[in-house]
Amino acid sequence: MSALTLALAGCSTSDVPASLAGNPFVEEWNTPYQTPPFSKIKLEHYEPAIDYAIELNRKEVEAIINNPEPATFENTIVAMEQAGQLLGRVTGVFFVLNGSCTSDEMQQIALNITPKLTELSNDISLNPELFARVKAVYDQRESLDLDVEDRQLLENSYKGFARSGALLEGEAKELYRQYTSELSQLTLTFGQNALAATNAFSLNITDEAKVAELPDFVKEGMAAEAAARGQEGWTLTLHAPSYVPFMTYSTQRDLKEQLYRAYNSRAVGGESDNMENIRRIAELRLNIANLLGYSCYADYVLEDRMAESTPTVQGFLNELLDATFSYAKKDVDAIAAYAKSLGMNEKFMPWDWAYYSEKYKEEKYAINDEQIKPYLQLESAKDAVFMLANRLYGLTFTEAPEIEVYHPEATVYEVKDHTGEVLAILYLDFFPRESKNQGAWMTEFRGTKVVNGVEQRPLISLVMNFTKPTATTPSLLTFDEFTTFLHEFGHGLHGILARGKYESINGTSVKRDFVELPSQIMEFWATEKEYLDLWAKHYQTGESMPAELVEKIIAAKNYLAAYYNVRQLSFGMLDLAYHTITSPIEGDIRDFELKAIAPTQVTPIVDGMAMSPAFTHVFSGGYATGYYGYKWAEVLAADAFSYFEEEGIFSQEVAGKFRYELLEKGGHEHPMTLYVNFRGHKPQTQALIDNMNLK
């Protein structure tokens, strides 16, 4: 009997179907730290393994239901928590790779398995016998001898069932199944459409005069893209490392308008249209909320967040908007006036923003990315991020070539504590490719938990889309890219340092509006002179970043802070608008979007544009009614970092408290309790406003 099968379902190896012979997902992984053997995993392995894992999971649930013993915390709540390990193993690999190394075949598999996973989830959450056992334990919770983690797991288990339709009956229960099944398919399709629409556009330039003014790194990247496509000249795409630098450095206004319109009309019409998907997703979410007794989806979601209610979030967003809108308008007016002073006679439009705001920044602070990038070579930046984790938490990172990676561009590291204990395996995947989703994110192949007294440490992956190296230049990060690295690494630390018995409440498994605190606080070190002085050296000369350049970076850290704050608020308000509807959306989605973000509008409106059809965070990425959480967490981060400023930015005492009270404990308690335990008081919105240094 294999140890794996024993751990999963108490079944003998003979119970594994012959059709799964040679399938690595049902075999022991004799790899370092039981990391996935990627070279053995083929596309044809996923779906059969998932089908089998679903079958096993059903048997585990049936065993819990049919247990003749009275329901207890161990035989019901813990048993449910530990069920589905094989399914977690397979989906843990599949969904990570579907985001970072997808293909048409993988996307089809995702479409095939999603209904099955949704059906399983519904069958579990809507099972009255299972819920009766959960409720029996929950009803006697006050008399049980439970520790903090146990109590939180029990609370989450009961609420999870209740919030997933367990209290519904008859037709309402069947409607819930229908709505959730359709919703899971539509959100998956939405993300696939957004990626396809992004990949579908490219702009090839053969006239050298149109690229002559661009910095070398931009031209080299465009030339490499053209060569990869078998084209002459220089090619632009809508992926950030291509789109953003061209918009920032080019004076070719007609090309920038073309790019802007393409970027901001992704998945509007055509084969990858998402307009009707938006309407239906919003309606399905409303239907689900109504079934569960809520007037809108936001009320349903926010009841289980740190913010706890829709009025609280609306008030929070409005408070920040009221405090910063006039300053944001001044920011835009200043850049428009600056463009006019340089001879631009046309109306200032959004595609002019990146170029003139960058030039204004250069003039005002005498600083630009071209000056900074030579000091932010990716390898040096990576070492610096590791060094920061060592200074704060005593962690060390050692490359582990004996551990397989899922793509040749990825690297992998052992992460050890100061005691020598291996805390995690960390995968890093830096560069864009067509098989990878846009943006940057942290994810896990496996989380932290304790099974049969043995602690399982996590396998963490950080996926990004940074500027690629060229034939003559290594990867040199923009300052924004370096900040993004710190941000995602903060999420990584949340997973790496997790401690606890139950995977569902460890690491980043916290309330959505709390999860960005560990990431956003890391960004503050990017503008700390004491930190930059330790490592930022020119990749060619080895000379340290000049003191005056460091000072300029610090001086410029709040450049256009109000504008970017209001821009972020517009995303939060748009998200909230879709999820506070009390009847289905009628009319054009573009009109709905414009109305929702009107209070935040500080730049001219461009007809026909809409960000909603590519708003993957909200319509396919799990952030529905959660985008405000970025600003919410910025308040937490500003307040929390002020503690480091008081005691020293490398204070091991403050870092120790942050690690113990927040990073290690994950979702073991309400986040406000954890935060107050760390900081000594509740966070104040004014902390973020003060940090912007508005003038």
Residue range 373-555+630-692 forms a domain whose CATH class is mainly alpha
Distance (Å) of CA 599 to CA 174, 321, 478: 40, 9, 31
pLDDT of residue 15: 77
User: Residue 119 contacts by C-beta under 8 Å, 6 or more apart in sequence?
Assistant: 177, 181
Residue 238: pLDDT over 70: yes
CB atoms within 10 A of CB 162: 17
Average pLDDT of the residues in 619-641: 93
Q: What is the pLDDT of residues 129-187, one digit of tens each?
A: 999 999 999 999 999 999 999 999 999 999 999 999 999 999 999 999 999 999 999 99
Specify the pLDDT at position 497. 98
Cα separation, 216 vs 289, whole angstroms:
52
Burial 323-332 (b: 16+ CB within 10 A, else e): bbbebbbebb
Domains 3-167 and 373-555+630-692 share a fold: yes
Query: For 419-446, what is each residue's pLDDT tens digit?
Result: 999 999 999 999 999 899 888 999 999 9
* % of the chain at pLDDT higher than 70: 98
CA distance 185 to 381: 39
Amino acid of residue 618:
V
Is the pLDDT score of 9 beyond 90? no
pLDDT of amino acid 29? 96
pLDDT value at residue 291: 97
Is 488 in the active site? yes
Judged against a pLDDT cut of 50, whether residue 13 lies above it is answered with: no
Domain segments of the chain as ranges = 3-167, 201-263, 275-367+562-626, 373-555+630-692
Q: Which among 89, 173, 86 has a CA at the least distance from the CA of 131? A: 173
State the CB neighbour count (10 A cutoff) for residue 306.
22
- Which CATH number applies to 3-167? 1.10.1370.40
Distances (CA, A) of 417 to 1, 385, 394: 34, 16, 6
Task: State the average pLDDT over residues 282-306.
Answer: 97
For residues 585 and 295, give the distance between their C-alpha atoms in angstroms, rounded to a whole number: 15
Q: How confident is the model at residue 88 (pLDDT cuts 50, 70, 90)?
A: very high
Is 267 within 8 Å of 377 (Cβ atoms)? no
- Judged against a pLDDT cut of 80, whether residue 625 lies above it is answered with yes
pLDDT, tens digit, 9 for 90 and up, residues 96-111: 999 999 999 999 999 9
Q: Which residue has the tokens 């309606």?
A: 283
Considering only 115-119, 418-422, 429-433, 689-693, which range has the smallest mean pLDDT?
A: 689-693
Residue type, 373: K
**Half-sphere CA count of 678, side-chain side, radius 13 A:** 30
* Residue 453 CB coordination number (10 Å): 5
3 state SS of 515: coil
**CB–CB of 458/424 below 8 Å?**
yes
Average pLDDT over residues 404-412: 97
CATH tag for 275-367+562-626 (out of 1.10.1370.10, 1.10.1520.10, 1.10.10.10, 1.10.10.60): 1.10.1370.10
Q: pLDDT of 606-615, one tens digit each?
A: 999 999 999 9
| pLDDT over 80 (residue 7) | no
Contact 74, 136 (CB under 8 A): no
CA distance 437 to 195: 6
| Of 234, 212, 213, 216, residue with least CA distance to 225 | 234
Instruction: Give the chain's radius of gyration (CA, Å).
Output: 26
As a whole number of angstroms, the distance between CA 62 and CA 164 comes to 19
Please report which confidence band the pLDDT of residue 467 belongs to, taking 50, 70 and 90 as the band edges: confident
Closest CA to 461 of 422, 438, 501, 495: 495
**At a CB cut-off of 8 Å and minimum separation 6, what does 212 contact?**
none
CB within 8 A of 201, min separation 6: which ones?
237, 238, 262, 266
Residue 63 confidence (pLDDT) = 97
Percent of the chain with pLDDT over 90: 90
pLDDT of residue 3: 33
* pLDDT class of 533 with cuts at 50, 70, 90: very high
Distance from C-alpha of 359 to C-alpha of 365, rounded to nearest angstrom: 10
pLDDT at residue 471 in the model = 85
CA distance 295 to 448: 37
- The per-residue pLDDT for range 307-363, each reduced to its tens digit, is 999 999 999 999 999 999 999 999 999 999 999 999 999 999 999 999 999 999 999
Neighbours of 66 (CB within 10 A): 8
d(CA 300, CA 234): 49
Taking residues 300-313, report their average pLDDT.
95
CB 29 within 8 A of CB 36: yes
List the single range of 400-414, 447-461, 678-692 with lowest mean pLDDT.
678-692
Neighbours of 402 (CB within 10 A): 10
Question: Is residue 493 a contact partner of residue 518, using CB atoms and an 8 Å limit?
Answer: yes
Q: Is the pLDDT of residue 374 over 80?
A: yes
Write out pLDDT tens, residues 470-525: 888 999 999 999 999 999 999 999 999 999 999 999 999 999 899 999 999 999 99
> Is residue 11 scored above 50 in pLDDT?
no
> CB within 8 A of 220, min separation 6: which ones?
470, 471, 472, 473
Contacts of residue 546, defined as CB under 8 A and 6 or more positions apart, other chains included, come to none
Q: Are strands 422-429 and 459-463 parallel, antiparallel or unpaired?
A: parallel
Check pLDDT > 90 for residue 120.
Answer: yes
Q: How confident is the model at residue 368 (pLDDT cuts 50, 70, 90)?
A: confident
Q: What is the mean pLDDT of the chain?
A: 94
Catalytic entry in 488, 516, 523, 528: 488
Whether 28 has a pLDDT exceeding 60, the answer reads: yes
Task: Classify 232 as helix, strand or coil.
Answer: coil
C-beta neighbour count of 645 within 10 angstroms: 12
